[in-house]
Amino acid sequence: MKIFTHKSYAVLTSITALIVLSACSGAPEEKYQTVTLNGNVELQAGPVPAGTIHFRLYTLWFLEGDLRHPLEEIEDFQSDSANFTHTFEYPLHKGTGFAIHAWIDTDDDGVFCTPSVRTDPGGLAWTEETPSSEIDMTITLTDNCRNASWFYPPAP
């Protein structure tokens, strides 16, 4: 029982210290930049096929040290037109740079390719610059059924 009391005291002391420490620190402040994206989707060759175009926005790089990684998701949206404008909140606390992935749902099944139907083209455009209030991007669709990590970082 005495041991229990001593350990309890040690744990409570540690907890108090941690409370004090946690009160002195805080999560990184969330900061956003409103960005208007003017975009254009094109195919590597030929006209853009019909179908809903699905987009996903990313910061290009996020975190530091061992956890540093490319392509941290910001948000998704869709468009029925290859020329589009989209306004979003860029999370300045979640990295640097910018990337946009697009794919066209050519068979209108809502899925970016199935194991047997491989007709939906995809592509990625990126910039290492963190966007300011407005950015223009052209996304060239080069490969069917390929997600963002297939394109970036590119092979040397």
Partner 1 sequence: MKTISIMLASLLVLIGCSSEPPPQWGVEIEGEWILVNDLHTHTGTWDMMPPGFQNRLANRAPDAFRWSFGPVTDWLLNPDSIISQMNNAGIYGAGVFALYSPHTTGLAPNDFVSERVMTHPDRLYGFASFRADQWNLDSAERLAELERAVQLPGMVGIKLAHAHQQIRLDDERIYGVYEISARYGKPMYIHTGSSPNPGTRYEAPYADAAYLEDAIKKHPEAIFILGHTGYDTKNKALTFVDNAIELAVKYDNVYLEPGALGAERGELVIDDFVTRLKNANVLSKVIYGSDGVQMPGYLKEHLENYVAAMERNGYTKEEMRQVLSENFIRVFGGLGTPPNQIAEADTGA
* Closest CB 155 distance from partner 1, rounded Å: 4
Cβ nearer to partner 1, comparing 23 with 46: 23
Contacts of 42 (CB under 8 A, 6+ apart): 48, 82, 138, 139, 140, 141
When the beta carbons of 61 and 90 are compared against partner 1, the nearer one is 61
Minimum Å gap between C-beta 42 and partner 1 is: 23
CB of 22 to partner 1, least distance (A): 3
- For residues 84 and 152, which CB has a smaller minimum distance to partner 1 in the complex? 152
Question: What is Dmax (Cα atoms) for the chain?
Answer: 81
- Whose CA is closest to 141, among 87, 105, 88? 105
Rounded alpha-carbon distances, angstroms, from residue 130 to 61, 140, 152:
10, 20, 16
- The binding site for partner 1 (CB under 8 A) comprises 3-4, 7-8, 11, 14-15, 18-19, 21-22, 27-28, 63, 66-73, 111-115, 145, 147-150, 152-156
Please, which residue, 15 or 36, has the CB nearer to partner 1? 15
Residues pairing with 96 in the sheet? 61
Tell me if residue 67 falls in helix, strand or coil.
Answer: helix
